[in-house]
């Protein structure tokens, strides 16, 4: 049996956890108004700044809406986009983040395979454009996360399936909402940045050749490798 170090949570993270649990258990429902910062701080016996930080974190991932002059409310999911629904599911479900990562592998590996089959010369040029932008970022020592994501969108566009594009957009936006800070840390290491660039170069070459099997394989390899790094970063936070 191996014991892992216990990492103390920050106060605002405890507040976020309590609010998410109340939503998951139905104690707070879409449209519910949360306590004002001062009142909740007094109830929890914490500083008002901790409550403010918790509310901002929940707003950033689309769980609550802060309306100036009105108050803070749990978002109305029924009228929101697929991205909003997925974001709420991830933060309220115990294993949903892992399910999201699984979904990403299913969507993007098949998108790469279809791109290899259906890509046009314009599609190839677009993927190459974002690949070159990634390389320029690495040379400059700038984070390549944005151009990384643009390349993945270009690959999905090359599959020429409108529903697949919508799913990809939802998955990517949810990943961005929930794991933004973690994903940004991927590119803080020069070595990791270069490895990620090599992965994307392999994806580009497979699609350019029109090799569906290879495109599917290299995309899966990239996503699995990236997922392992992301999980390690989250573990060490």
**DSSP label at 71?**
E
Where does 95-236 sit in CATH, by number? 1.20.120.530
pLDDT at position 2, please? 52
Scanning the structure block, which residue is given the tokens 């840390």? 185
Q: Residue ranges of the chain with pLDDT lower than 70?
A: 1-9, 76-97, 174-186, 233-237
CB 172 within 8 A of CB 153: yes
Q: Identify which of 144, 138, 169 has the alpha carbon closest to the alpha carbon of residue 155.
A: 169
Is CATH 1.10.10.10 the right assignment for the domain spanning 11-79?
A: yes
Stretch (H or E) spanning 66: strand 64-67
Torsion of CA 94, 52, 170, 81, to 10 degrees: 100
Place of tokens 């992965």: 199
**Cβ-based neighbours of 194, under 8 Å, separated by 6 or more:** 138
Indicate the pTM of the whole model. Answer: 0.62
pLDDT for 96 equals 60
Residues 234/182, Cβ–Cβ less than 8 Å: yes
Helices first, then strands: H and E counts in the chain: 10, 3
Note the pLDDT of residue 13: 84
Q: In this structure, are residues 73 and 64 in contact, taking their beta carbons and an 8 Å threshold?
A: yes
pLDDT for position 1: 44
According to the model, what pLDDT value does residue 203 have?
A: 97
Can you give the residue ranges of every domain in the chain? 11-79, 95-236
Cβ atoms 170, 130 nearer than 8 A: no
Cα 178 to Cα 184: distance, rounded to the nearest angstrom: 12
Angle at 143 between CA 142 and CA 144, to 5 degrees: 110
Mapping DSSP to helix (H, G, I), strand (E, B) and coil, where does residue 33 land? strand
Going 91 to 92 to 95 to 99, the CA torsion angle's sign is: negative
147: Cβ–Cβ under 8 A, 6 or more apart, which residues?
130, 133, 134, 137
pLDDT score at 224: 92
């Amino acid at each position: 049996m191996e014991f892992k170090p216990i990492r103390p949570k920050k106060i605002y993270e405890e507040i976020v956890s309590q609010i998410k649990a109340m939503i998951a258990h139905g104690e707070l429902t879409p449209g519910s108004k949360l306590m004002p910062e001062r009142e909740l701080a007094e109830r929890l016996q914490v500083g008002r700044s901790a409550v403010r930080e918790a509310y901002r974190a929940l707003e950033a991932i689309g769980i609550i809406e802060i309306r100036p002059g009105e108050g803070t409310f749990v978002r109305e999911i029924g009228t929101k986009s697929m991205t909003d629904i997925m974001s709420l599911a991830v933060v309220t479900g115990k294993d949903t983040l892992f399910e999201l990562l699984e979904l990403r592998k299913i969507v993007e590996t098949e998108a790469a395979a279809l791109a290899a089959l259906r890509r046009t010369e314009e599609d190839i040029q677009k993927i190459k454009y974002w690949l070159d932008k990634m390389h320029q970022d690495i040379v400059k020592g700038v984070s390549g996360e944005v151009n990384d994501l643009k390349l993945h969108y270009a690959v999905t566009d090359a599959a020429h399936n409108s529903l697949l594009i919508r799913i990809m957009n939802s998955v990517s936006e949810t990943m961005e909402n929930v794991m933004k800070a973690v994903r940004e840390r991927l590119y803080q290491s020069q070595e990791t940045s270069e490895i990620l660039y090599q992965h994307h170069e392999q994806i580009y070459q497979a699609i350019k050749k029109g090799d569906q099997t290879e495109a599917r394989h290299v995309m899966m390899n990239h996503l699995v490798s990236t997922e392992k790094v992301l999980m390690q970063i989250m573990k060490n936070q």
